[in-house]
Amino acid sequence: MKREIVKFLIFASLVMVSPLFFKGGYLLNVLVFVGIHTMLAVGLNLLLGFAGQISLGQAAFFGLGAYISGILTTAHSVNPWLAMALAALTVGILAFFIGFPILKLKGHYLAMATLGLGIIAYIVFNEAVELTGGPSGLSGIPNLSLGSIVFDSDIKNYYLIWSFTLITILLSLNLAHSRIGRALRAIHDSEVAATVMGVNARLLKVQIFALSAFISTIAGSLYAHTMTFVSPASFGFNFSIELVTMVIIGGLGSIYGSFLGAAILTLLPEVLRAFQDYDIIVYGLILILITMFMPSGLIRGVPSAFMFLLSKIKRARIADA
């Protein structure tokens, strides 16, 4: 446990000082996105990596957060913080109740049902024009503010988003090492065995589903207030898939892995921009290659590849001598 605290403190201080290296500018903006995506990936990882339940509709909760915050603050001039809290609570409760019928499903059926939810939400964002502004989106969403500080620049947003992200990471680490975390892993390995041991598997799965929806909704609200503009394109099926990919290539069940996955998938398109139209092909290729050669994720795959190389070198040296 002590090691975990030290690890977290190192991570947090790295996050806090890194803006000093890229003062302002474009990259800082990208790092704000890394923060939002990390929150989403960590939330999904609780469900996918710990409880072993897939969700292909996570973008729906993200979108609901963004739209509820956006609509409440623009059309009804609700205080942004209040709007964010309302959004997170409503969606969290909603997810709790949808969770019961949905998480009764297993495997591909669960994947399909959550995917369906995501697509339904996406279509509603597009079609409920009076409420959401339809495909052209919703603009003029106010920035968040704290006293006299208005979060309206990249650097302020960076610290705002990453504070939330760090809190999410800390809470998730805590959860993972608690009784609940162990119960979740038991469900992951065998639901029947976990139930026999006295874990209320059904309730726990639903609770973790609601928690991951809650986290995604907060990420959505933060996104709306930092971008000040939302449109349906950001909350489609592709984004749900991208989130699952972040969790898997980072490493299932590893909180820092989710950060790694989020960082890579967010930075990759920026790097690949140099390839212009070829970027989507390279993206697909990288996805295939990582899954093929590091099936347990980069967080475990990279160190073991390194060790493998090291032992090869050592052996070569011994052979030379």
Partner 1 sequence: MQFSEQIAQYLLSGFCTGSIYALIGFGFAIIYNSTSIINFAQGEFVMLGGMLSFFFQTTLKLPLAVAIILAIIVATASGALFERLAIRPLKNATPLSLVIITIGGSILIRGLTMLIWGKDTHSLPSFSGTEPISLAGATILPQHLWIFGITLLTITANKVFFNYTITGKAMRACASNRKAASLVGIDVKRMVLFSFVISSAMGSMAGIIIAPLTMTAYDVGIMLGLKGFCAAIIGGMSSGFGTVLGGLLLGILESLGAGLISSGYKDAIAFIILLLILFVRPQGLFKKADTERV
Instruction: List the one residue from 12, 155, 267, 287 that touches partner 1 (CB under 8 A).
Output: 287
Residue in 145, 136, 57, 142 with CA at minimum distance from that of residue 94: 57
Helix (H, G, I), strand (E, B) or coil at 79: coil
Which range touches partner 1 (CB under 8 A), out of 18-26, 112-120, 147-155, 164-172? 112-120
Instruction: List the one residue from 82, 123, 203, 305 that touches partner 1 (CB under 8 A).
Output: 123
Contact 244/170 with Cβ under 8 angstroms? Answer: no
Q: Which is closer to partner 1, CB of 77 or CB of 238?
A: 238
Interface with partner 1, residue 109, by CB under 8 A: yes
Which range touches partner 1 (CB under 8 A), out of 26-34, 105-113, 137-145, 151-159? 105-113
For partner 1, the binding residues in 257-286 under the rule CB under 8 A are 277-278, 280-281, 283-285
For partner 1, the binding residues in 173-202 under the rule CB under 8 A are 190, 192
CA distances to 114, 179, 236 from 58, in Å: 8, 25, 10
Contact 298/249 with Cβ under 8 angstroms? Answer: yes
Contact 153/25 with Cβ under 8 angstroms? Answer: no
Residue 292 and residue 39: Cα distance in Å, rounded? 26
Q: How far is the CB of 122 from partner 1 (least distance, A)?
A: 9
Residues pairing with 138 in the sheet: 230
Interface with partner 1, residue 292, by CB under 8 A: yes
Contact 181/187 with Cβ under 8 angstroms? Answer: no
Residues in contact with partner 1 by CB under 8 A are 54, 101-102, 104-109, 111-113, 115-117, 119-120, 123-124, 126-127, 190, 192, 237, 241, 244-245, 248-249, 252, 277-278, 280-281, 283-285, 287-288, 291-292, 295
